[in-house]
Amino acid sequence: MKTIIWDIDDVLNEMMRLWLERYWVPSHPNCTLIYEEITGNPPHSLLGVSISEYLASLDDFRLSKIAEEMTPVPEVLSWFQQNGEYFRHVGLTSVPLIASSRSAAWVMKYFGQWIRTFHVVPSSRECERIPVYDQSKEDFLRWFGKADIFVDDNHLNIESAQKLGIHTILIPRPWNGSRITLAESLQVLSSYLGI
C-alpha cells in the first residue's frame, strides 16, 4: 500500500482564500487584491505590508472561529471518499506551534478516517524558541523515508520531494503556476493506484 504525504493548508482546504476574503479584506476595506491575483506566497508584498504583519494576521486567522469552521475542498474530500482506503495517508504541515493543535483537530475532524498520522515542521516565529528537528518539509521527508507520493501547493516543496525520488502532485493555486486543474491533479493521483 502506497503512502501519500498531504500538505494541509491550501491543499485539503482553501485557507489563503478564506483568510483574504473573510479576514484580511473586512479589516482592510481599501484592499483591492483578489484571491486569483495572489501570484506570490507569502503575499505580503502584494498587500503592501511587512512579512511580520502578514504572519501576525495569518496566525490570528488560524486561531479564529472562521478557520475552525473551514470546510474541506469538496473535490479533495470526494477523492478521499472514493480512493482513500487504497493508500496510507500522512498529514504534513508547516504552521507555527501555536496553531498546530488547531490544524491537527481540523484534519482529524474531516480526514481522520484516512489520515492517521499528523506531522508539523513548525514555521518559525520571532520570540519562539523550540527544538529544531527539521528545517523544512524536505528534511522531514528525508528522515521519514516512507513517502511514495507527496501532495503540496508549494512548487519548492514539490521540487525538494522530487530530488528525494518521491512522486509529486502540485495542487494548482494562483501562486504556483500549475497548468492543470484540480480535477486533473486528482486524476493523476488516482493513477498511482497501479504503481
Q: How many whole angstroms separate alpha carbon 156 and alpha carbon 114?
A: 26
Where in the sequence is the domain holding 45, given as residue range(s)? 16-68
Find the distance separating the first CA and the last CA of the chain, reported in whole Å.
10
What is the share, in percent, of the chain residues with pLDDT greater than 70? Answer: 99
Q: How many whole angstroms separate alpha carbon 26 and alpha carbon 190?
A: 39
Banded pLDDT at 59 (limits 50, 70, 90):
very high
Q: Of the candidates 121, 18, 4, which has an alpha carbon nearest to the alpha carbon of residue 72?
A: 18
In this predicted structure, the answer to whether residue 16 has a pLDDT above a threshold of 80 is yes
What average pLDDT does the chain have?
Answer: 95
Average pLDDT over residues 100-109: 97
Q: Could you say which of 26, 52, 68 is where a domain stops?
A: 68
Average pLDDT over residues 103-128: 93
Other beta carbons within 10 angstroms of residue 92's beta carbon come to 25
Tell me what pLDDT residue 126 has.
Answer: 76
User: In this structure, are strands 88-93 and 3-6 parallel, antiparallel, or unpaired?
Assistant: parallel
Q: Can you give the three-state secondary structure of 35-48, one letter per residue?
A: HHHCCCCCCHHHHC
Specify whether 170 is located in the same domain as 112.
yes
Specify whether 92 is located in the same domain as 182.
yes
Instruction: Give the total number of structural domains in the chain.
Output: 2
Specify whether 39 is located in the same domain as 81.
no
Specify whether 60 is located in the same domain as 77.
no
CB 172, CB 180: distance < 8 Å: yes
* pLDDT tens digits, one per residue of 122-173: 998 877 788 889 999 999 999 999 999 999 999 999 999 999 999 999 999 9
For residue 169, give every residue at least 6 positions away whose Cβ sits within 8 Å of its Cβ, in sequence order, or none.
149, 150, 151, 152, 185, 188, 189
Q: How many whole angstroms separate alpha carbon 194 and alpha carbon 168?
A: 15
CB 70, CB 13: distance < 8 Å: yes
CB 102, CB 68: distance < 8 Å: yes
Specify whether 24 is located in the same domain as 113.
no
